[in-house]
Amino acid sequence: MSEGNGNVLVTGATGFLGRRLCQRLTERGDRVVAVGRKAAEGPWSSFVEHDLATGSLHPDELRGVSTIYHLASRAHALSEPPHEVSVYNEIIVEGTRHLVEAALQAGVKRFVYFSSVKAMGEGNPSGSDPAPLDESNSPSPDSPYGQAKARAEQVVLGAGLPHAVVLRPVMVFGPGEKGNLPRMVEAVRRNRFPPLPETGNRRSMIHVDDVVEFSLRAADLPEAAGRTYILAGPDAPSTRELYDSIRKGLGLPPRAWSVPLFILQAAAGAGSLIGWIFRRRLPLDRDSLSKLTGSAWYSAARAERELQYRARCSVREWLQAGSPSA
């Protein structure tokens, strides 16, 4: 793998994953041009303030750029009202189309698009399938966000770019992340997260540094051109295993008991009803319980084989080491 591609452009550079990628690119000797809606300081050489949803970058802003890493997106929400469909389309699909058009005009050689496993749908949500989803499974996105990501993938791979790659990471964790996993850690710390029963579900996750390493290889290896890769970590623990790992990392004693599933289901049903009446979501409803007890299980075997890398950080070990509190 090469040690630097010259001028590199990163959209969504100010985000959790974007900053980590920019830092790694800078460390290996690339000149990083960051793109975002609001200028910010960071590990990049220059910053272009631009909202891709409003139109393409000017070709001059891509002059000399050899590789684009496209991370800019709209965050996925658990509950997506109908009006979100047009917002996702504008930001994710049309924003990607604008960037692809500019890349073609500027003669950019490599284009790496950060999609999501949501473009495929939930991986084994019932917890009953014997194996994780991989790239051979037909995409069946079941949310406006996932559908928009799937359409953006088609834009990237169908544009005729010389080296286009689509990455589908699972949930990304790591220092500084502010998503569902840190919220779960804080809820456990405050004794506001119930000890769930063991349902045998599987939740794939991946450390931010492993995503960065995969993405560098996707850009650098010629055989990755035109390919789509799921990115997942080395383990896929159940939600109960995550809960036990968090308690260990926080220095809390283990709990041998759990709240029976039928009680959680009754409480979730009540939460959904109350939320419908008062038009606000409660922490526990049917949607959130489904996410907690169901599976989102994916295989990164193709990425490991073709990109010659295997994710190194186990989410269970990371939690048990107390890393989220660092």
Structure confidence at residue 34 (pLDDT): 96
What's the confidence (pLDDT) of residue 326?
43
To the question of pTM greater than 0.75 for the whole model, the response is: yes
- Supply the pLDDT for residue 76: 63
Show the 3-state SS of the chain.
CCCCCCEEEEECCCCHHHHHHHHHHHHCCCEEEEEECCCCCCCCCEEEECCHHHCCCCHHHHCCEEEEEECCCCCCCCCCCCCHHHHHHHHHHHHHHHHHHHHHHHCCCEEEEECCHHHCCCCCCCCCCCCCECCCCCCCCCCHHHHHHHHHHHHHHCCCCCEEEEEEECEEECCCCCCHHHHHHHHHHCCCCCCCCCCCCCECEEEHHHHHHHHHHHHHCHHHCCCEEEECCCCCCCHHHHHHHHHHHCCCCCCCCCCCHHHHHHHHHHHHHHHHHHCCCCCCCHHHHHHHHCCECECCHHHHHHCCCCCCCCHHHHHHCCHHHC
Fold of 7-177+205-236+297-315: Rossmann fold (3.40.50)
State the 10-residue block means of pLDDT for the chain, 326 residues long: 73 95 96 93 94 86 94 70 69 94 94 96 62 89 90 96 97 91 94 94 96 98 98 97 97 96 95 93 89 92 98 96 71
The pLDDT value given to residue 59: 81
Q: Taking the domains of the chain in order of start, what are their residue ranges?
A: 7-177+205-236+297-315
Q: Which pLDDT score, from 0 to 100, does residue 60 have?
A: 84
